[in-house]
Amino acid sequence: MVLNRKIAYINLSSGKITQKVISKSMRALYLGGRGINMHNLYHHIPPKADPIGPDNALLIGTGLLTGIPALGAGRCDIAAKSPLTGAVGDSNIGGFFAIELRLAGFDHLVITGKAEKPSYLWVNDGDIEIRDASNLWGLDTFDTQKQILSDNSDELIKSLVIGEAGEKLVRYANVRTGMKNAAGRTGMGCVMGSKNLKAIATRGTLDIEFMYPDQLLDYCSEMNTMITSTRWARAQSKWGTLIIYSNTNTTGLIRTRNLQLNLLEDGEDLEPEVMDRYSFGMSGCFGCSVHCRHRYILKDGPHAHFGEGPEYTSLGAFGTMVGCNKMDTVLAGNHLVNKYGIDTLEIGGIMAWVMELYEKKLLPEKMTHGLKLEWGKVEVLLELIKRISKREGVLGDMLADGFLPSIAKIGKESEYYAMQIKGMSNLHSDERPTPSLALGIATSTRGADHLRSRPALDLYGLPEEVLKEIYGHSVSSEYTSYEGKSRMIWWQENLYAITDSIGTCKFQTVFCAVNAPKFEEFSKLIYLTTGLEFSKSPLMEIGERIITTERMFNNREGFTRKDDKLPERFYKEPTPIGLPIVKGKTLDKNKINTLIEEYYEIHGWDNNGIPTEETIKKLGIETKHSNRS
C-alpha cells in the first residue's frame, strides 16, 4: 500500500541507519513531501544550527500521490536550513527520482551528520547503504549520474546529485537529476556538499498498491483531460514555459539590466518561436501528459551541446537581466549551470547586480581581475558563471556566498541595487505594477519567491465573479489594484503547499489556468489512492499548518516582520517603459504594509508575523524540539 512506505534516519557521521513506517497521524497532519519535510525541518534541526554544519538535516520527501499516472505526480521535495538565507530551505524537483525512491520502499529520508570522505547513499528495495563516492567527487552533474549507472550496471537507477558548485559549497548550489531537473532554490546542493554527500541513488522493484486502482485510473484520465484541455497546457506542450515571455516582455513586466528597465526592446530572439531552430521534440516528467520541456541541440560554436529546456527563468538569468538578447547565449548559460549544479535564478540575479554596480562604478576594480562586467557580453557572462561555480578569484568566491555577505564586502551603497528578499534573488519579473505579486515575494518563507504563492491568474483580467468563486472573497480584477490581494496570496499559498505535499506539478493546478485541478480534485485523488478522506476545508487547514510551521521555523531563527520587506527601489523608481497600464508605476509602501497586516491576520499571526498560541493550538502543531518525528 501507499501508506506502508517508510521514513529512514541516516547519520552520516556514525553510519547508523534506522527505519520506521510513517504514521497515519503524520499523514493526516502533513500528507507527505513538503508537508512532512517541514515538520521534520522544525523538529530535527537544533535552533541556530550552522546550515553547513553536521547538525543541519537534509530532508528528502516524495509526495503522497507519487506514482499515480496524472498531473506530473513524480515530484520530490528537498529541504534543510538554507545556507543562503538561514531561513527555510526547500526546493521541489521533477523527473523520475521520486517514483524510484517510492518503489524502493521509502517516502522520506532524514540525513544528518557528515561523512568522513565523499560518499553516496544507495537505496534499494528496503535497504540503504552508505557507499564510497571518491571516484565521483569532481565530476559534473551529468557525468556523476552516468558513472553511477556504470558502476552498478543498471540503466534504470535514478540519482539526485551535486556538481562542482555543491562540492565547493556555493551557497546556492542545487541538486540535480536527469538532463534538466533541478531542485534549484535555497542551496540544497550546498548542504549535500557540506555532508560530503555526492549523490543519493535509488532502484526499486517493490509494488505500489493503490486503494481503489480501477476508479483511480479512470479519474486520473479525467484529470489529464482536464489539464490538457486548457489553453495554458496546450501552449506549454508546444513552447514550454518560454510562452510566458511573449506576454510579460510585451507588456513591460520583465526585469531588464537588473531593474533599470522593465522591457527588453530588442528581445525578438528570445521569443518562444525561436526554439524551432534548436528543438527536436518535447519531453516531460513522470505522470505528465503536458510535456513542457524542449529537447534541443546547439550545434555550432564553442558552446555546442545537447540539452533540455530552457525554462522562462533562464531567459531572465542569461537574457533580460544581464542585457543579452540571443537565444544561443541563454542555451549556453543554461547548460553551464546544469553542468556545475547551481541555481539559474540566483546566479542570474547576482550577476545582473554586479553588472549594474560595475556600470555605476560601485564595484572595486580589484575584485574583477580585469573582467569587464558590461551588459550583453556573452563570454563575460559565461566566464562569470564558471568563476562563481568554482569559487575562482576574489569576485567568484565572494558572489558564491550570495547577496548578503557580498553586500557587506562591497559596501552599504550596493544594497539598494540588490533585488533580493531575505538574501534570495527575485525572479526576473518586475513587481512594481503588480501588488499581489509583490506581496507574495515579500512574505514567502524562502525569500523572494515566485513558486510559493504567485497568483498568475491576477494578470488575466478575469471577471470579479470568477475570482470570487475561486478565492471565496472579493478580489479586484485589475492587477494594478491592491483590493483583495492579501486573500489571493493566502489562498494560492495554501494550494501550493498541498501541491508540493502530494507531489504533483504546480503548472497542473490553478497557477496559470482557471479550469485546472485544485482542492476538490486533490481530495478525490487522495481518497482513491490511499483511502484517506479529506474535503476541501481540511486540506486548506493542512496548507495552513505547513505554512505556519515554516513561519515558526523562521521566527525561531530570528526572522520577523522586519524581513518581510521589498527592495526600496520598488517604491522609489517608476517603471520607465511598457504599455500604459504598467508605465510609470511604483508600489505604495503604506498600501503594501496594509496588505501584509491583512495577510498576517488571515493566517492567525500577530502584527509582527508570529503565529499566535491560539493558532498553533488550533492547527495542532507540536512545538517541542525532538530528535525523532
Amino acid at 575: T
The pLDDT of residue 300 is: 87
Question: What are the structural domains of the chain?
Answer: 2-203 (3.60.9.10), 254-425 (1.10.569.10), 435-619 (1.10.599.10)
Read off the pLDDT of each residue in 214-237 and give the average, rounded to a whole number.
96
DSSP 8-53: EEEETTT--EEEEEPPHHHHHHH-SHHHHHHHHHHHHS-TT--TTS
| Cα 118 from chain centroid (whole Å) | 26
Amino acid at 7: I
Apex 310 CA angle, 583 and 430, nearest 5: 20
**What is the CB neighbour count within 10 angstroms for residue 372?**
9
Backbone angles phi, psi at 497, to 5 degrees: -65, -40
What is the residue-averaged pLDDT of the chain? 96
Measured CA to CA, the distance from residue 79 to residue 548 in angstroms comes to 16
Q: What pLDDT band is residue 523 in, cutting at 50, 70 and 90?
A: very high
Whether the pLDDT of residue 409 is over 80: the answer is yes
Read off the pLDDT of each residue in 117-144 and give the average, rounded to a whole number.
98
Write the pLDDT tens digit of every residue in 236-254.
Answer: 999 999 999 999 999 999 9
Read off the pLDDT of each residue in 453-472 and give the average, rounded to a whole number.
95
Show the 3-state SS of 272-326.
HHHHHHCEEEEECCCCCCCCCEEEEEECCCCCCEEEECCCHHHHHHCCHHHCCCC
Burial 63-92, CB ≥16 within 10 A → b, else e = bbbbbbbbbbbbbbbbbbbbbbbbbbbbbb
Whether the pLDDT of residue 628 is over 50: the answer is no
Strands 58-62 and 197-203, sheet pairing: unpaired
The pLDDT of residue 2 is: 86
Measured CA to CA, the distance from residue 94 to residue 88 in angstroms comes to 20
Write the pLDDT tens digit of every residue in 565-622.
Answer: 999 999 999 999 999 999 999 999 999 999 999 999 999 999 999 999 999 999 999 8
Would you state the cell numbers that stand for residue 625, as one nine-digit string?
524540539
Q: What pLDDT band is residue 625 in, cutting at 50, 70 and 90?
A: low
**What is the CB neighbour count within 10 angstroms for residue 265?**
10
The pLDDT of residue 624 is: 74
Residue of 476, 454, 480 whose CA lies nearest to 465: 476
Strands 106-112 and 6-11, sheet pairing: parallel
Q: What pLDDT band is residue 627 in, cutting at 50, 70 and 90?
A: very low
Would you state the cell numbers that stand for residue 4, as one nine-digit string?
506502508
Read off the pLDDT of each residue in 22-45 and give the average, rounded to a whole number.
97
Q: Who's near 338: CB < 8 A, 6+ residues apart? A: 141, 142, 176, 179, 180, 182, 307, 309
**Peptide bond connecting 455 to the previous residue in cis, omega within 30 degrees of 0:** no
The pLDDT of residue 222 is: 97
Amino acid at 376: G
Strands 58-62 and 76-81, sheet pairing: antiparallel
Whether the pLDDT of residue 454 is over 70: the answer is yes
Instruction: With beta carbons less than 8 A apart as the criterion, state whether 10 and 115 touch.
Output: no
| Three-class SS state of 91 | strand
The pLDDT of residue 369 is: 86
The pLDDT of residue 629 is: 37
Write the pLDDT tens digit of every residue in 270-329.
Answer: 999 999 999 999 999 999 999 999 999 999 889 999 999 999 999 999 999 999 999 999
pTM exceeding the 0.85 threshold for the entire prediction: yes
Q: Who's near 578: CB < 8 A, 6+ residues apart? A: 251, 252, 253, 262, 263, 433
